[in-house]
Amino acid sequence: MSVLWKFKSLLIFMSMSVGHAHSHNANFSNLSLQDTTETDSVPPPIDTLAELKPIYELDLPKFNNLRNMKGASLITANSLQQYIKGELPGVYVSESNGEPGTNIQMFVRGISKPILSNRDIYASQPLIVMDGVPLIGEHPFAFDIQNYDIERIGTENNLLSNIDFDNIESIKVLKDLSAVATYGPLAANGVIEITSRKTPSDGQKRISINSYIGMSQRPNVTTINGAYENAFRKQFYDLYTTNGRFNDDDVYPIYLSDSLNNDYYGPSNWSDSYYQNGLNHGVNANIAGGQPRATFQFSLGNVKTSGVADDTKFDKYNARFYLNLRPFKWLNFETLFNAARISRDRNRNLRNRFAMMGYFPDLGAPLAPNKEVYDTYLQEFDKSFDKNFNNILEGFFRFQVNVGPFKLKSKFGVDYNEGYRDLFYPSTILENSNFASNYYGYNQRLMVDNQISYDKENGSNYFYAEVGNNLVWDTYKYNYAYAYKGVNDFIKLNLLETDPYNDEYLNPTAFPRQLVYKFLDRTKHNMINFYGKASYTYNGSYTAALTLRYDGSSNAQPTSRWFFSPILALGWNAKNDLMKENEAVSLFNIRASVGRIGHYNLFDNYSQGPSYTAQFGYTGNSIVPGYNGIAVLVRPYDVGWVGYDLPWSYSDNINIGFDLGFKNRNIQVSLDAYIRDTKDQLIMLPGKKDFGYQYQYESGMDVRNMGIDLSASGNVIQNDKVTWNTGVVLGVNTNKLLALPFGYDQIEVNDRLLKIGERIDAFWLYENNGMYQTDQEVPESSGQKMTYNGIVLKAGDPIWNDSNGDNQITKEDKVIQGNIIPKLSGSWNNMVAYRNFDLNLNFYFNLGRKIVNQEMANRFNFIENENASSINSIKEITYWEKRGDYDQYPLYNPWSSVSPFQTNQTLFLEDGSFLKLRTASIGYNFKDIIGNRLGKLGDLYVYISANNLLTLSKYSGRDPELVNYMGYDQGYSLPIPRTYALGFKLKL
C-alpha cells in the first residue's frame, strides 16, 4: 500500500490525476470551511490506483471540474444542462425555453456538423457518464413520422433532469482525446463525467438533509388589444392604399374589423390567467454508514418546479442506493443504482399542439385578449388531459480482484428509461373534432466492461498498462397512435390497447377506422471494442502515453464495420525540472496530445444500403409506408437515399495546454488550444428523385473547429477575516467548412448555404440597404428595372444589395453573415467569505453571436400570415403582448409580391451577445453557534439565493437565450424565470 500511496502523491504533485484527493480539487477550495458537502469523504478502498485515472489522461480536473459544489448547488436547476451552464470550459449550453423540464442542448468545443434539424442536435450532444455508466438518451428516429421538426413525439422530457445534485461529488468535462479515449466513439462529441458521492471508508454513520423552498417570479409584460394592432396596421394602409382603405380583394380580419367588439377591443387583461408566480421546493435526505469492510448509502429526494407561464410544472422523485463490500483485501464488490420518476405539465401552446396533431383549424379568429373570453377557453381546455411522465433506472455492478501489480475489473452497467404520454383534446377547442393519442417508448443501454491493468513503480519512474474490452447494446423503441373525431368527448380510448380478450382491441369503435393512425418502430445499435493503453513516466517529470482502440459498430456498413484509433499524449512537469526549489510556483505542467476517434452512425438504415419506401394517402398526415395502398413491413425512412460504401466518420484532434499555479493568493491558470477536424461526415444532397427521394446521403463533408479553453482563479483578498476568490471560465471557438462531397464548392440545404471556407453555423441572408421611396429610385439597366426573382421592384420595396451586379435580386445575392454558436462563452464567478458568512455571485455571458428575430418578421408580415394555414401564422395568446422595438423597422409595402418582410434578410439580424447575473446567494454557517450539539460532524448551513436576476444585451427581443437551434427567435418559447429560494443543508 505504501507504494500505491507514494504514486498517488506523485500524481497529485504533478497535477495530472483526476482522483478526488487532489490538493486543489476545484475553484474556491480554500473556502471549503463554508462547504456543507462531504469534504471529508474519501473514495472507497476499491480502487486506490485503479480509481485514479492513469497518468496519461492529462485533462486536469482542477481546471475542468465544476466550481465548488456548494456554490453551484445553490442554483435551483432542474437539469444537468442548467446546472453546468457557463461553469465548464469549452461547454456551451443553449437554453432555448424556460419551461421547466424541457430539453436543453449543449455542445463541447463547438459543433462538428451543420445543425439543420433535430437529428443533427442529437448527433452533436456530448456523452454523459454517470459513475462510469454512459447514459442513453432519446433517439431522433421518431422524427421520421412527424410533419414538423418542432418537438419529438412522446414525453419530450429532459432525461438529464433525473440527477440529484445533492449526491454529486464532482462534475467535469473531458475534451482532449487522451481523456475521452476510455469511452471511444460514444465520446466523439466530448464527455461530461459525473461522480456520485460515495460512503466514507471509515463506515461512520452520516445523515444529511438538504431542502429549499422558493418561487418563480412572473415577468412584467405590456399587453395590447385590437385597437393597438389596428393602429399598427393602419399606418401601412395610409401609405399604400387609397384613402387608407383596403382593397376589395383584401379581406380585413374579422376580429379587427369591428371596433365595438369588446372581446378584442376591450380590456387586454389576459396576462393574469397566463402568467403566474410559481412555487418551487426541493428536499433530499441521505443516510450513509456501515463498517470499514461494508459501507452503504441511501437517499430519497423530491423536486417540484413551477413555470411562470401557461400553468407549466415539473415534478421529480428519485431514490439512490450504494453498497460497497470488501470481504478480502484482494476482492472488492461495488454496486450503485439510481431510480427516478419525472413528470411534466406541458404548455398549452397552439403551435406545439397543432404541429403534434398535424391538424390546422381555422386560424382566422385568434384567442381574444379579454380575460373572461380567455378563461372560458381555458375552462374548455381543462376538459382535456395530458399524462406525461418518464421512469428512469441506471446503475452498475462491479467487482475488482487485485493480484500483486495486476488488477482485474469487471463491470455490468444498465441505463433504462421509458416514457408514457396519454393525451385527449375535446371537440370544443378543435372545431367539433376531438383528438386522442397514446405513446409508449423506451431507451435501453446494457454494457459489459472488462479490464486488466498492470502498474509498476521504480523510484521516480512509473509504468502503467491496461487492456480491455467493452460491449454495449442499445435499443430504442416506441409505439404511437393518434385519432380524430371520436364519437363524443366522454369516451377516451387507449389507442394502443393490446388486450386480445377485447373484441375491438384492433379496431376501437370510438374513432372512425380511417382516422386512426398507428406507428411502431424499434432500432438497435450494438457496439464492441478492444483497446490497449500504456504510459511511462520518467524521473517524475516526463510522461508518454499511447492508446490503441479497435471499435466495431452494427450501424456501420458491412464493408467498414471496424475503425482503428491511435492516440498519443505527452506531458512534462516543468516545475519538477526547472523550478523545483521555487516555492512560489506550485504547479507548471505542459501537455500535448494528438489522435483520432471514430463517430458512430445514429441510424441503422445507414448500414443497410438503399431502403425503398412508398407513401400512400391523401390526408396530409404521415402514414405507414405501403405499396399499392397496402401497408408493408418496411421502415419509414423516406428522408434520404442511402448508398453503399459509406466509410466511418472520424475526428483528428490536436491539443496543447499548460497549467500554472502560484501559492501566493492561490492563483491557478489552465489554457488549452485545440484543432479538431471532423471528416467524411454524411450530409443530405438533392438527388435520387427517380427513386422517390428528395435527398441522398453522401459522405465527404469535413469541418474544422479551432479554439481556446481558459480557466483562471485566485484570491483577490486573503486575510484572517475576509477572503474574496474570483474565477473566470472562457471558451473561444470558431468553425470552418473544409470539404463537401464530390468536390462541391458549396451546396444549399434547408435555406442554408454551406460554402467551403465559411462557418457552418452562419446565416444566409439578403442585405438590406433601405427602402425605395419612389419607382424612379429603382435601379435600371439596359432599359430594365431591377427585379426580385423576376418581379419588378417598386416604391415601398426593400433595397436589397445586388452583390453580383446583374440587376436581379436572386438567392445568388444572399450573403453569409453572423453565427449561431457564440464565439466566446463562459462565466465569471466570485465568492466572498467573512467569518461564517459567504456571498456568491455568478455572471454568465455569450459574446459574438447573432439572432434572427423571426417574431418581429411575423408581426410585420401580417398580410401573408393572416388566415394562412402555416406553422408560423399561429397566434398564441402572447400575440397580445408588446415585444420588441417596432420603430427600428421600415414600413415596407406589405402587399408587395416580393414578400418584403420575409425572415431571411439582415433587417431582422441582431446582436445576440449578453451578460447575465445568473446567481446571487448569501449564506451563513452555524457551526460555531451549534458546536457539538448535532454531533462531532454536525453542521448547519442556511442560504438565500436568486437566479436570472439581470440581463444586459443589445437584443431588442425578450431574452437573447430564447433562440432555437437554427438561431431564430420565433417568439413561442416560455420565458426563463427569475427565481428565489430559501434553503438549508443539515449534517448529523
pLDDT in tens, 461-480: 999 999 999 999 999 999 99
pLDDT at residue 15, rounded to an integer: 30
What are 560-604's pLDDT values in tens digits? 999 999 999 999 999 999 988 898 999 999 999 999 999 999 888
Strands 695-718 and 641-642: parallel
For residue 959, give the amino acid letter: D
Strands 784-785 and 746-749: unpaired
Indicate the residue among 745, 779, 813 that finishes a domain.
813
Q: Report CA 919 to chain centroid distance, whole Å.
A: 20
Same domain, 777 and 707: no
In a domain, 574, yes or no: yes
pLDDT at residue 750, rounded to an integer: 84
How far apart (Å, rounded) are the C-alpha atoms in residues 160 and 81?
Answer: 8
Short-list 876, 875, 859, 857, CA closest to 867? 875
Dihedral (Cα; 202, 68, 979, 379), 10-degree rounding: -60
In a domain, 276, yes or no: no
In a domain, 344, yes or no: yes
Least confident of 510-519, 579-588, 637-646, 945-954: 637-646
How far apart (Å, rounded) are the C-alpha atoms in residues 957 and 966?
Answer: 16
pLDDT at residue 491, rounded to an integer: 79
Give the sign of the dihedral formed by CA 181, CA 185, CA 189, CA 191. negative
DSSP 369: S
- Average pLDDT for residues 183-200, to the nearest whole number? 90
pLDDT at residue 146, rounded to an integer: 87
For residue 255, give the amino acid letter: Y
Question: Which helix (H) or strand (E) is 338 found in, with range?
Answer: strand 331-345
Length of the chain counted residue by residue: 988
How far apart (Å, rounded) are the C-alpha atoms in residues 517 and 524?
Answer: 24
pLDDT at residue 9, rounded to an integer: 34
How far apart (Å, rounded) are the C-alpha atoms in residues 712 and 339?
Answer: 37
pLDDT at residue 240, rounded to an integer: 92
Contact yes or no for 264/365 (Cβ under 8 A): no
Query: b/e string for 682-717 if b means 16 or more Cβ within 10 A?
Result: bbbbebbeeeebebbbbbbbbbbbbbbbbbbbbbee
- Average pLDDT for residues 191-217, to the nearest whole number? 87
In a domain, 260, yes or no: no
In a domain, 696, yes or no: yes
How far apart (Å, rounded) are the C-alpha atoms in residues 367 and 375?
Answer: 10
Q: Among residues of the chain, what percentage have pLDDT more than 70?
A: 87
Q: Residue 379's CB: how many other CB atoms inside 10 A?
A: 10
Same domain, 773 and 735: no
- Average pLDDT for residues 735-741, to the nearest whole number? 97
The residue among 515 and 611 whose pLDDT is bigger is 515
Give the sign of the dihedral formed by CA 686, CA 687, CA 690, CA 693. negative
For residue 316, the domain's CATH number is 2.40.170
Short-list 455, 460, 452, 571, CA closest to 179? 571
Short-list 469, 391, 473, 408, CA closest to 134? 473
Report residue 456: phi and psi, to 5°: -150, 135
pLDDT at residue 923, rounded to an integer: 95
Please list, in sequence order, all residues whose beta carbon lies within 8 angstroms of the beta carbon of residue 580, skipping any fewer than 6 positions away.
Answer: none
Same domain, 798 and 686: no
What are 686-696's pLDDT values in tens digits? 887 777 677 88
Question: Which helix (H) or strand (E) is 418 found in, with range?
Answer: strand 406-425
Q: Which structural domain range is residue 804 located in?
A: 767-813
Please list, in sequence order, all residues whose beta carbon lies within 8 angstroms of the beta carbon of residue 207, skipping any fewer than 6 positions away.
Answer: 285, 286, 287, 288, 987, 988
Report residue 855: phi and psi, to 5°: -60, -40
pLDDT at residue 503, rounded to an integer: 59
pLDDT at residue 241, rounded to an integer: 87
pLDDT at residue 247, rounded to an integer: 57
Summary mean pLDDT of the chain: 87
Contact yes or no for 155/420 (Cβ under 8 A): yes
CA distances from 829 to 57, 605, 714, 839, 952 (A): 27, 46, 11, 11, 17
The total of structural domains in the chain comes to: 2
How far apart (Å, rounded) are the C-alpha atoms in residues 262 and 255?
Answer: 10
Cell 381555458 found at:
378
Same domain, 319 and 444: yes
Q: Among residues of the chain, what percentage have pLDDT more than 90?
A: 71
Same domain, 434 and 315: yes
pLDDT at residue 37, rounded to an integer: 31
Question: Which helix (H) or strand (E) is 311 found in, with range?
Answer: none
How far apart (Å, rounded) are the C-alpha atoms in residues 939 and 42?
Answer: 19
How far apart (Å, rounded) are the C-alpha atoms in residues 150 and 106?
Answer: 18
Same domain, 578 and 696: yes
Same domain, 658 and 791: no
Report residue 637: phi and psi, to 5°: -85, 105
- Average pLDDT for residues 630-639, to the nearest whole number? 53
pTM: predicted TM-score of the whole model, two decimal places: 0.90
Same domain, 612 and 678: yes
Short-list 283, 464, 430, 447, CA closest to 362? 430
- Average pLDDT for residues 856-875, to the nearest whole number? 91
What are 35-89's pLDDT values in tens digits? 233 333 333 333 322 322 333 333 333 444 554 444 445 667 889 999 999 999 9
DSSP 901: T
Same domain, 653 and 799: no
Is the pLDDT assigned to residue 17 strictly greater than 50? no
Indicate the residue among 706, 727, 755 that finishes a domain.
755
The residue among 16 and 821 whose pLDDT is bigger is 821
In a domain, 923, yes or no: no
pLDDT at residue 699, rounded to an integer: 95
pLDDT at residue 505, rounded to an integer: 52
Same domain, 728 and 799: no
Cell 461494508 found at:
294
Short-list 145, 92, 162, CA closest to 121? 92
pLDDT at residue 42, rounded to an integer: 32
Is the pLDDT assigned to residue 630 strictly greater than 60? no
Same domain, 498 and 620: yes
How far apart (Å, rounded) are the C-alpha atoms in residues 768 and 785?
Answer: 18
- Average pLDDT for residues 276-289, to the nearest whole number? 94
Residue 453's pLDDT band (boundaries 50, 70, 90)? very high
Same domain, 517 and 628: yes
Least confident of 44-48, 298-302, 857-861: 44-48
In a domain, 365, yes or no: yes
In a domain, 249, yes or no: no
Short-list 698, 694, 701, CA closest to 637? 694
pLDDT at residue 686, rounded to an integer: 83
DSSP 898: T
Rounded to 5°, the CA angle 756-760-765 comes to 95
Short-list 973, 985, 982, CA closest to 939? 985
What are 592-601's pLDDT values in tens digits? 999 999 999 9
